[in-house]
Structures are given as C-alpha cells and as structure tokens.
Chain A
Amino acid sequence: GENVEQHPSTLSVQEGDSAVIKCTYSDSASNYFPWYKQELGKGPQLIIDIRSNVGEKKDQRIAVTLNKTAKHFSLHITETQPEDSAVYFCAASRAYAGKSTFGDGTTLTVKP
C-alpha cells in the first residue's frame, strides 16, 4: 500500500519568514496530493491540493510543488503569521479510487 513520509515533525519560524514542509510517497499510481491544516481543538481542513498533471499550484501565501519523478511534494508558506501556527498534514491518494494515506504531521509554530 501507499506510504507517506513527512518532514520535519516540528518547525519553528519567526513571523514573516517562510516555512517549507516536505513529503514523499511510495505509490506511483497516487495522483492526488492534498494538504490539511489542523488548528487546536478542530478537525483538519483542506488548504491546498495538487493533482499529478500539475507541477505547482499557488494560493496567496501558500504554494505546493510536486515532483512526480522523485515522488515528493512540498508545502511552502511565505510571510508567515502567528495564525499559521497549526499542525499540517500531507496526504496521497488515487482520485476516484479510494482512501487517503496521511503523513505523520508537522507542528508549525510562528513566533511573533
């Protein structure tokens, strides 16, 4: 089955700096790669996703890049703000065909 590895497990940055979280996946048939943000006391919420026919996607301060050959994808947050502090999860799945496999999560802390 699919295996997703996520690094780092914790990340601390100063407000205004950039943050990068990286994931690798094992199943070359995976074609959908979402990122979820989980704030304290809440369930995860989708913040951005990318499909395998696209190399990069951007939404304001967040972007995701995908390297299919190397089987890795990354989340980039620029100009970080304290409200970006949360746990971030990457995931991989085959769209239309089944369950998502999640990484272990990254706890991001943005210091004011």
Chain B
Amino acid sequence: DVKVTQSSRYLVKRTGEKVFLECVQDMDHENMFWYRQDPGLGLRLIYFSYDVKMKEKGDIPEGYSVSREKKERFSLILESASTNQTSMYLCASSEATTNEKLFFGSGTQLSVL
C-alpha cells in the first residue's frame, strides 16, 4: 500500500524553539508539498518541491523553510516557532508526469505554547 508518512501525529513545542516536521513517501514521487490546515481556511500551501534540492514558495511561506536532500524525504522547518503557527500540517506527494492526484499523510498537529 502506497504511503506518505509523517513522523509525528502530535507535537507540543515552546515559543522560539526550532521545529522539524518530517515527511517520507514510498511512491518514488518527484513532487512533494507541505500544507497547513486551519478550521474554515481549507488547505494552504506553504512550500513545495519538484525535485531533490529544489524548493518553491507556496502561498504562506513566511516563518517556514524546507529541506529536500533525498527524493523520498521532505522536511518542514520552523526556525523560531510562534503561537500563530499552531496548526495541522499535512504533507503530500504527486507524480511529476501529471502533477495531479495528491497523496496525503495523516498530518501533524503542532501546538506552540
């Protein structure tokens, strides 16, 4: 069964901490995405990557960075966590050829206190 795995289901961090959210996919997909999900706001794109070591800003990149050192792994980094970054974070991947269907992980609920 194909999978997108996010390393943590729940995470609690302190304001100012550096936070790493990890995502691994086993489908050999070129494209990987990080979304943020907040009630009533849908899914908002933070960053995406079409290839190893490549990254592009999405709609809300401020306060975040990403790393893609290997094809299967895409990390989201909060350099200095703030309370307004408390949210559900969803990782997704898709094939490069069509860039259509997204496969999502189960999400990481991050609380910044």
Question: Is B74's CB within 8 Å of the partner chain A?
Answer: no
Name the B residues within 8 Å of A46 (CB-CB): 101-102
Residue from the list A6, A36, A99 in contact with B58, Cβ < 8 A: A99
Is chain B's binding surface mostly helix, strand, loop or mixed?
Answer: loop
Chain B interface category by residue count: 20 to 34
Chain A interface category by residue count: 20 to 34
Within 8 A of B (CB), among A23-42: 32, 34, 36, 41-42
How far apart sit A100 and B58, CA to CA, in the bound complex (Å)?
10
Within 8 A of A (CB), among B93-113: 97-102, 104-107
Within 8 A of B (CB), among A62-97: 89, 93, 95-97
How far apart sit A1 and B57, CA to CA, in the bound complex (Å)?
14
If A43-B90, A105-B42 touch, whether A100 touches B102 (CB-CB below 8 Å) is yes
Name the B residues within 8 Å of A41 (CB-CB): 106
Please determine whether B42 and A45 come into contact, CB atoms closer than 8 angstroms: no
B100 to chain A, nearest CB (A): 5
Within 8 A of B (CB), among A91-112: 93, 95-105
Please determine whether B106 and A43 come into contact, CB atoms closer than 8 angstroms: yes
Please determine whether B41 and A104 come into contact, CB atoms closer than 8 angstroms: yes
